[in-house]
A = this chain, B = another copy of it.
Amino acid sequence: MAIKKNIIVIGGDGFCGWPTALHLSKQGHNITIVDNLSRRWIDQKMGADSLTPIASVEDRLAAWTETTRLEIEFASIDVAREFNRFTALLASVKPDVVIHFGEQRAAPYSMKGIDEKRYTVDNNISATHNLLAAVTELGIDPHIIHLGTMGVYGYDDDGIQIPEGYLSVYIPGDDKRIFQRDILYPTNPGSVYHMTKSMDQLLFQFYAKNDLLRITDLHQGIVWGTQTHETKLDERLINRFDYDGDYGTVLNRFLMQAVVGHPLTVHGTGGQTRAFIHIQDTVQCIALAVNNPPQRNGKVAIMNQMTECHTVRVLAEMVAAHSDTKVAYVDNPRNEAAENDLRVSNKSFIDLGLNPITLAEGLMDETQNIAVKYADRCIRKMIPCVSTWTDKQRPGVVKSAA
């Protein structure tokens, strides 16, 4: 490793944040995790739990030091609500890099009810803005790396390959001239959660332009897989495996259903095409981003952090083929296109040297070493998706016009 950096990982206790913190610590960087432990209390409130047993923060950090002789600092701060404490930490750590995972990240949870909608907006927007405002106020200059989502692009514009953040368009003027512009890809979020990440883009755009902050926004696909090289080192370091209807992503839920003998529940026709990435590739991408800060040119660097696209139906078939399970087609609780095509550019990370793990090669390992191994911890009633996108009984609303 070339240069040892001071790195703050906001949300470093979460599913992506934890393995990222370990990976960067292993690479020799000084890591400070900032977290409000929201994934833990949200689980408690929902009655859900990670399939894998998650140690307390103290035990996780002690295990890391025991295993590697490396230390990671931890600060229990809510970045959205404890601005002064967060600013004091920034002033003391003087980070070279801040990695921002500090947002409520489940689309179904963000649609669950009024409290969850409001929490997602208030937490995610204030957290992102507090970070930008604090950095500007202190006059420090960290490279800010943010976890965005492929969902900002939306999934219903078949035909156009999803570019990396910016789209080249031609605009006919009213005087017969034609103007070419590179614009932020017109956002089309499908949930309150995805909407907040679209709003984040405008926060980054403004602070990059006005204050010349250096910002990398990573539009990530759906993450699958549980373990990375570092989280495998000790069982106390194990990463989360969420399978409940709100936080469990589609592949985890299929794996869990297969193991407990539940039919694989596909929403609608399963024709929804989505982008995927393995958690090991997530941490690799973030390390690449850390080592490749953008130019200070007033523009946010946007990269797509995904490695392959599949339809939900094909995923279900892959999992069914590995197990003795049937596929069940159920009503879609989401408000989304039934079928869509998806082609995504991920040229930036491939050019930087990303060598992806494919679903085909990693699926069996995930099944055996996670889903089967911890199957007895499964809380079956948490499997169905119960958060719906719209109240079909709402007076005056003609659902078919959506």
Contacts and interface: CB of A to CB of B under 8 A. Distances in A.
A115 to B, nearest CB: 10
Given A159-B177, A199-B199, A139 B186 contact: no
A127 to B, nearest CB: 11
Top 8 A-B residue pairs of the complex, sorted by shortest distance between their CB atoms: A183-B186, A169-B169, A141-B396, A170-B170, A114-B137, A199-B199, A195-B206, A121-B129
Q: Which of A129, A161, A391 has the most CB of B within 10 A?
A: A129
Contacts of A129: 117-118, 121-122
Q: Which of A167, A169, A177, A393 has the most CB of B within 10 A?
A: A169
Given A117-B133, A161-B174, A397 B206 contact: no
Contacts of A160: 171, 173, 179
Nearest to A125: B125
A44 interface: no
Nearest to A152: B202
B173 A159 contact: yes
Contacts of A179: 159-160
Q: Which of A212, A298, A395 has the most CB of B within 10 A?
A: A212
19 contacts: A83-B118, A114-B134, A118-B126, A118-B129, A122-B129, A136-B394, A139-B391, A141-B395, A160-B179, A170-B171, A170-B172, A198-B202, A199-B199, A202-B202, A210-B335, A211-B390, A296-B401, A297-B401, A298-B402
A249 interface: no
Contacts of A174: 161, 343
A96 B187 CA distance: 30
Contacts of A136: 114, 391, 394
A167 B171 contact: yes
Nearest to A295: B401
Contact of A298 (B114, B167, B401): B401
Interface in A124-169: 125-126, 129-130, 133-134, 136-137, 139, 141, 157, 159-161, 167-169
A119 to B, nearest CB: 11
Given A160-B179, A395-B141, A171 B169 contact: yes
Given A125-B125, A187-B202, A402-B210, A161 B133 contact: no
